[in-house]
Amino acid sequence: MQRGLDPIFNKDTRILILGSAPSEMSLKKQQYYGNNGNQFWKMMFAFFNVPFETDYDKRVALLLDHQIGLWDVYHLFEREGSLDTSIKTVELNDFSDILTKANIQLIITNGKKAYDEVLENNLFPDITVIPCISTSGAANGFMEKRRQQWYEALEMVR
């Protein structure tokens, strides 16, 4: 079983972006969306209209400055490769701590797998959950539709 990354949030976090589980590259780097083919960071910097940054600490600071946190649905998971379709055995994260310490008002799921798990397990019954097309390189054929979905979701709390 592989272990996911720790959550990124603070007491001011209002939006929580949830993926399913970190890719192999993200686990290796110990960074969310660490694969260069993933469009997550490029979309965030473009949305906030600031110059793109490669320094991970500055990337995280951008999100926290805009009251956005990151985590994944799975705490432990078994998977070969990085595709969500390869995920087998899982253990969900416990969201009670983050929900107690931050005033989460919106959940944006990064990909279908995360969204399906949130619904199937009724993880956030009192919080709006918006599904967005995955930012992974596997979904790059949907670049414009994905960008539009993400921007509309992020606009909800601007």
- Model's pTM, two decimal places? 0.90
* pLDDT the model gives residue 158: 64
Note whether 21 and 87 are within 8 A (CB): yes
Helices 143-155, 40-47: inter-axial angle, 10-degree rounding: 50
Rounded distance, CA 69 to CA 118, Å? 16
Rounded distance, CA 83 to CA 49, Å? 30
* pLDDT the model gives residue 23: 84
Active-site residue, from 10, 36, 38, 121: 38
Q: Is 140 a catalytic residue?
A: no
Note whether 124 and 95 are within 8 A (CB): yes
Listed residue (8, 151, 153) closest to 69, CA to CA: 8
Residue 2 has pLDDT above 90, yes or no: no
Note whether 69 and 17 are within 8 A (CB): yes
| Mean of pLDDT values over 51-70 | 97
* pLDDT the model gives residue 99: 97
Q: Which domains, from first to last, does the chain contain? A: 2-156 (3.40.470.10)
Instruction: Report how many helices (DSSP H) and strands (DSSP E) the chain contains, helices first.
Output: 6, 7
pLDDT per residue over 108-133, tens digit each? 999 998 999 999 999 999 999 999 98
